Amino acid sequence: MATEIELKLCLADEMDFQRVRLALDNLAHRRGTAVEDLEQTNYYLDTPRLELRAQKAMVRVRAVGPGPAAQRAVVTLKIRPTLVDGLLSTAEHELVLPTELAAPWLLSPPPRVQPADLGIGDWLAEGGLIERPLGPQSWLHVVGAMANTRRVYQLEGYQINGPQGPLTLELDHARFGLGGADGHRFEIELEHPDAAAWRTVIDGWLAGLDVTAYPATETKYAQLLRLSAVAPTWPAG
């Protein structure tokens, strides 16, 4: 199972989010690189007894498209994330769903499915990827959903006063379906094997934009659970 390492910095408000977006748009325009806009809907699943959450595992189905109509669905299993000072490290396994399995999630997501309906029966069974496997007849229920608009930038490190080499930055606006500031999350993400080394670079670049940013203290899933009062302390760190 691959390990994902990300730097996740939250932006104080929509004004800072727009300031960062404009700066990144300008950098991409000067270099002539494409900017990709993605509309994502994340559906989070667990058993009725929350057996995945009990072992700090998460199953997510993400419907992805450039507009209102999603074009593909991806199922992801993440296990035991650690988030320290904005650096997220988690074991991750991912599968792009074939057309017949993706169709329900792109049209009208079912309230519950069995792991085999997602093509991940082997992941959650005995001898699979989790410590305490689920039974063969287990059902996964949708415990919550979140909408996210993601803008993806392919840059070169030197453009933000960093080392040479390609760099992918993702700018997110997550919406949890609640009113108030806590119902929205503005975030800049950098996935990189040496993400920790980029922290000072990103911090300095954002400071130059007069943008207030702070290291994420919880994942988007943890924030969803906290806001829905399902599990206000998951994950702990």
pLDDT score at 236: 36
Which residues have a Cβ under 8 Å from the Cβ of 31 and sit 6 or more positions away? 155, 156, 159
State how far the Cα of 35 lies from the Cα of 29, in Å rounded to an integer.
9
Provide the b/e sequence for 99-112 (b: ≥16 CB within 10 Å): eebbebbbeebeee
In the structure, what pLDDT confidence band is assigned to residue 237 with cuts at 50, 70 and 90? very low
**CA 29 to CA 40: how far, in whole Å?**
24
The residues near 113 (Cβ < 8 Å, ≥ 6 apart) are 45, 139, 140
* pLDDT tops 80 at residue 90: yes
Residue at 45: amino acid letter: L
For 2-80+91-227, give the CATH class.
Answer: mainly beta
How confident is the model at residue 179, as a pLDDT? Answer: 55
Parse the chain into domains and list their residue ranges. Answer: 2-80+91-227
CA separation for the pair 21, 35 (Å, rounded): 11
Beta bridge partners of 60: 44, 76
Give the confidence band of 231 by pLDDT, cuts at 50, 70, 90.
very low
Q: What is the mean pLDDT of residues 82-108?
A: 94
Res 105: pLDDT:
94
pLDDT at residue 49 in the model: 94
Q: What pLDDT was estimated at residue 235? A: 41
Two tokens at 108?
A: 């009208």
pTM: 0.91
How confident is the model over 116-136, as pLDDT tens digits?
999 999 999 999 999 999 998
Using the structure block, give the residue that is written with the tokens 């450039």.
Answer: 66
The pLDDT-based confidence of 233 (bands split at 50, 70, 90) is very low
Neighbours of 7 (CB within 10 A): 25
pLDDT in tens, 13-41: 999 999 999 999 999 999 999 899 999 99
